[in-house]
Amino acid sequence: MVGQHELVPPSGSKHRKKRIGRGLGSGHGRYSGRGIKGQKARSGAGIHPYFEGGQTPLVKRLPHKRGFSNIFRIEYSIVNVGRLNTFKPSSVVDQEELLRAGLIKSSKKPVKILGAGKLGIPLIVKADKFSATARRKIETAEGRVEVRSGAEAG
């Protein structure tokens, strides 16, 4: 059995550290692998990744490509309170009913009810999110607001 003190790495797996700037005989002397003069030969920061040799960078040439996209953004199907007047009084309005009525295009996105318009009939509205104005208008019309499970109120 081989003792721990007898273990050696396989040949060719270990390399010596490249000693730069230690004389011509080392093979990495004189300019130390940096060539002769110029910005990249100097110590310090160097050139940033989008530098294009003094040409106007792509970032500046295409202004509409600037900015950022929030990958955590939740996109809602939006329905205004005023559009809910098409339903019968005291009926339950949920995602399936809104889809059937053509007020939303897809059942894949969560639904948010916003407060534009007037509501004249009492409804039981079930959605993922409600604006404060929408909630007030539905309750003023003697309806009820129900936040769907798994969604937060607000």
pLDDT tens track for 54-72: 999 887 888 776 777 889 9
Residue 44 lies in a domain: no
Is 136 contained in some domain?
yes
Is residue 38 one of the residues assigned to a domain? no
Q: How many domains does the chain have?
A: 1
Residue 45 lies in a domain: no
pLDDT higher than threshold 60 for residue 152: no
Considering the domain boundaries, does residue 39 fall inside one? no
Could you list the residue range(s) of the whole structural domain that residue 97 is in? 77-147
Whether 84 and 92 have beta carbons less than 8 Å apart is answered as no
Nearest residue to 117 via CA among 98, 104, 136, 101 = 136
pTM, two decimal places: 0.55
The answer for residues whose C-beta is within 8 angstroms of residue 131's C-beta and 6 or more apart is: 112, 113, 114, 115
CA pair distance 75, 11, nearest whole angstrom: 57
Confidence of residue 150 (pLDDT cuts 50, 70, 90): low
Confidence tier at 153 by pLDDT (50, 70, 90): very low
- CATH number of the CATH domain containing 117: 3.100.10.10
